[in-house]
Amino acid sequence: SQTIHQWPATLVQPVGSPLSLECTVEGTSNPNLYWYRQAAGRGLQLLFYSVGIGQISSEVPQNLSASRPQDRQFILSSKKLLLSDSGFYLCAWSDRDSFTDTQYFGPGTRLTVL
């Protein structure tokens, strides 16, 4: 069966510090991968998605970036965090060969920027 991992689970960082959040998927190959941010426990904002290694699409311009160094690894980064980057970051995957885009979510990373 497929599983998706995210770490760290929680993170407290000062403004201006760098960021690296990691997401890995097990039990599937060639997944589509997604990064979302959820502010204040409500709606989801799609940040990035990837259909393959090195292929990243950005939905929202901001000081975050994403990379996919391996097929089942998706990394969210920032060189300098802003207060507004605080939120709950969710990684998700979907089966590229599926007719639907059913997405399966990881447990999330709670980021607090102080």
- Chain residues binding another protein by CB under 8 A are 6, 41-44, 46, 49, 90, 92, 100-108, 110
How many CB atoms are closer than 10 A to CB 110? 14
Distances (CA, A) of 92 to 25, 87, 108, 113: 9, 16, 9, 23
Q: Which is nearer to another protein, 1 or 42 (CB)?
A: 42
Least Cβ distance, residue 101 to another protein (angstroms): 5
Q: Which is nearer to another protein, 14 or 42 (CB)?
A: 42
Least Cβ distance, residue 96 to another protein (angstroms): 11
Q: Which is nearer to another protein, 65 or 108 (CB)?
A: 108
Provide CB contacts within 8 A for 77, sequence distance 6+: 18, 19, 20, 21, 64, 65, 66, 67
Least Cβ distance, residue 18 to another protein (angstroms): 24
The strand pair at 109-113 and 10-13 is best described as parallel
Q: Which is nearer to another protein, 92 or 113 (CB)?
A: 92
Beta bridge partners of 47: none
Least Cβ distance, residue 46 to another protein (angstroms): 7
